[in-house]
Structure 1
Amino acid sequence: MKQIVVAAALIIKDGNVFAAQRKDSGDLAKKWEFPGGKLEAGESGEEAIVREIREELSAKIAVTGYLMTVEHTYPTFHITMHAYLCELEAGDLVLSEHLDSRWLGPDELYDVDWAAADLPIVERAKALLANR
């Protein structure tokens, strides 16, 4: 089975978290996710997430901390996802790889159809937002 290692950004701004909807193709078509992408050879999770957000959303972020690692097996691949708390430093989040995006408050986190691997991060986001 294919193994994928990715980094994901939990971007919090004004008590809301940023979520993006995947394109209409592939195993996870139209599912919602925390943005990010695959680690390149020799790249740390922190480096990957900064690069991916710059490439996919045209914004500069700062990684403020490690959040968690999620292991999940989909029907056609296994994913290891390292999630990081991030802050928007510069630029607006401009979609180039996603269909849609939303800033979700604590009571809206389950209003979208999340990719299964992202659900543990949603739970952690809910707890973080409750403590703010």
Structure 2
Amino acid sequence: MKEIIVVAGVLYNNDKILLAKRNQNKSLGGKWEFPGGKVEKGETHKRALKRELIEEFGVAFEIGEYIGSNAHEYRDFIIQLHAYKVPCSILDLSSSDHDEVHWVNKAAILSYDLADADIPIVDKL
């Protein structure tokens, strides 16, 4: 089974965390996630996350501390997800890769329909 290494940014501002809703026409469309994407060959995790966040939000964020990782097996592939904290002072963000973005309290995250690979990261926050 194909393994895909991805990075995710847990963007935070004070007590709020950013969740992004995947475009309906993409894999896992309609699911909420911590934004990020695939690590390309030769990239470090932090460099990949910085690139992905620039692509999605048009902002060069500083990547903070490592939160943790987990693997999740979907039907056709395995996601190996590595998450990092990303401080964010910009509250009015829009994403080219997502239908919506919401700033939420940590306690409310699990009330969203999260992508399965992202759920274990919530426990590490």
Give TM-score, length-normalised by structure 1.
Answer: 0.87
Distance 1:53 1:119, change over 3 A: same
The percentage of counterpart residues that share the same residue type is 35
The root-mean-square deviation of aligned C-alpha atoms, in Å, is 1.6
Which consecutive aligned stretches of 4+ in structure 1 deviate over 6 angstroms post-superposition?
none
Stretches of structure 1 lacking an aligned partner (at least 5 in a row): 126-132
Where does residue 129 of structure 1 map in the other structure?
none
Counterpart contact for 2:94–2:101, Cα < 8 Å: no
For residues 23-81 of structure 1, the C-alpha deviation after alignment (integer angstroms, 9 at most, x for no partner) is 11344111000000001110000000011000111122111211101111011110101
Which residue of 1 is the match for residue 68 of structure 2? 68
- Correspondence 1:119 to 2:102: no
Aligned residues: 125
Question: After alignment, is 84-93 or 9-18 more displaced?
Answer: 84-93
Residues 95-130 of structure 1 show CA distances to partners (whole Å, capped at 9, x for unaligned) of 1110111011023112210001000111222xxxxx
Shift, 1:92, TM fit: 4.9
Find the counterpart in structure 2 of residue 109 from structure 1.
109
1:45 and 1:115 map into 2 onto residues whose CA distance is 20
Matches within 5 A, 1:44-83: 44-83=44-83
Letter in 1 for 2:34: F
1:29 & 1:74 partners in 2: Cα distance?
14
